[in-house]
Amino acid sequence: QSALTQPASVSGSPGQSITISCTGTGSDVGKYDLVSWYQQHPGKAPKVVIYELTKRPSGVSNRFSGSKSGNTASLTISGLQAEDEADYHCCSYAGTDTWVFGGGTKVTVL
C-alpha cells in the first residue's frame, strides 16, 4: 500500500485555474470513485472540499471540482483566490476497508 503521488507544489495567479494531480494504481484511485480532497491551512485540521470524486460539501465554493482519468484523480481550483493558499491532500479508498493518502501539495497564490 504505497502513498498516492501528488506534486509537491503548484502555483497560480489570482483568477487563474490550477489543477492538482493525485496518481495511484488500479487498486485504489483507478478502481474506486471514492477519492476525496482536503484543504489544510497552517495549524488547522483538514477540511474536505471534494468527496466521492466529484461531490462538494455544503458551503464549499463551486470553484472546486474533482475528476478522474485512469489511475489519476485531479482537483481543479478555478478563479484562484488568496484564501485558497493552503496544503491540499488527496485520499482514496484502497479496498477491504483501507485508505491511502497522497503526500500533499502546497498551493501558492502568486
Partner 1 sequence: EVQLVQSGPEMKKPGESLKISCKGSGYNFATYWIAWVRQMPGKGLEWMASFYPGDSDTRYSPSFQGHVTISGDKSTSTAYLQWSSLKASDTAMYYCARQSSPWNWGQGTLVAVSS
DSSP 8-state symbol, 21: E
By C-beta, is 18 or 91 nearer to partner 1? 91
By C-beta, is 52 or 83 nearer to partner 1? 52
By C-beta, is 17 or 98 nearer to partner 1? 98
- Contact footprint for partner 1 (CB under 8 A): 1, 3, 6, 36, 38, 45-48, 51-52, 55, 57, 87, 89, 91, 96-104
Residue 28 exposed, middle or buried by CB count within 10 Å (0-12, 13-18, 19+) = buried
Is the C-alpha dihedral spanning 50, 37, 25, 95 positive or negative?
negative
